Amino acid sequence: MSLVKFIDFKVMGDHRGNLISLEGNKNIPFDIKRVYYIFDNIADVERGFHAHHNLKQVVICMHGECTFVLDNGITREEVVLNSKTQGLYIEDFIWREMKAFSPEAVLMVLASEHYDENDYIRNYEEFKRLKNDSSIK
Ligand code: TYD
């Protein structure tokens, strides 16, 4: 099964333009506790390089584009985000990297938990070890 899970949002368009509504536990598969956004990216800078113990996220590219690398410790997949009408759903225990940001890229991230540095796994070898040690992940 692919690591890349997109949620297609319903676009409520009319003669005035388009509108998308995001609601926790409706079209977003968790309670939204936090929203953050990434912008003013510096050329060729890569971000991410971590996984999370518990956090689930939906990432929407509101403007421009960027590339996500998703890795479950066994397989690694790349996907370009460039649509306002789709969210990339990243579950817990998935290693993510972000790269190839276009200068105008704006990424909005909806998160299932408040910010908690203790939830981060920032070392790839530790991530793989935790994955292998866990019978359920
Ligand atoms: P980080 O998650 O490492 O960024 P990325 O995954 O995009 O590379 O976060 C960068 C910094 O911002 C780090 O010092 C933690 C801080 N931060 C918060 O304080 N709150 C937040 O909600 C997030 C996502 C990050």
Domain total in the chain: 1
Whether 73 maps to a domain, the answer reads yes
**Structural domain that includes position 76:** 5-13+20-132
In a domain, 120, yes or no: yes
**Catalytic residue among 15, 50, 52, 114, which?**
50
Confidence band of 134 (pLDDT split at 50, 70, 90): confident
Is 114 among the catalytic positions? no
| Residue 137 belongs to some domain of the structure | no
Q: Is 5 in the pocket of ligand 1 (CB under 6 A)?
A: no
Per-residue pLDDT reduced to its tens digit, 68-90: 999 999 999 999 999 999 999 99
Position 100, amino acid: A
> Could you tell me if residue 72 is inside a domain?
yes
Q: For the domain that residue 26 is a member of, what is the CATH number? A: 2.60.120.10
- Percentage with pLDDT > 90 across the chain: 93
- Pairwise CA distance, residues 63 & 84, whole Å: 7
Distance CA 20, CA 18 (A): 7
Ligand 1, closest atom to CA 114?
A: 22
pLDDT in tens, 15-60: 999 999 999 999 999 999 999 999 999 989 999 999 999 999 999 9
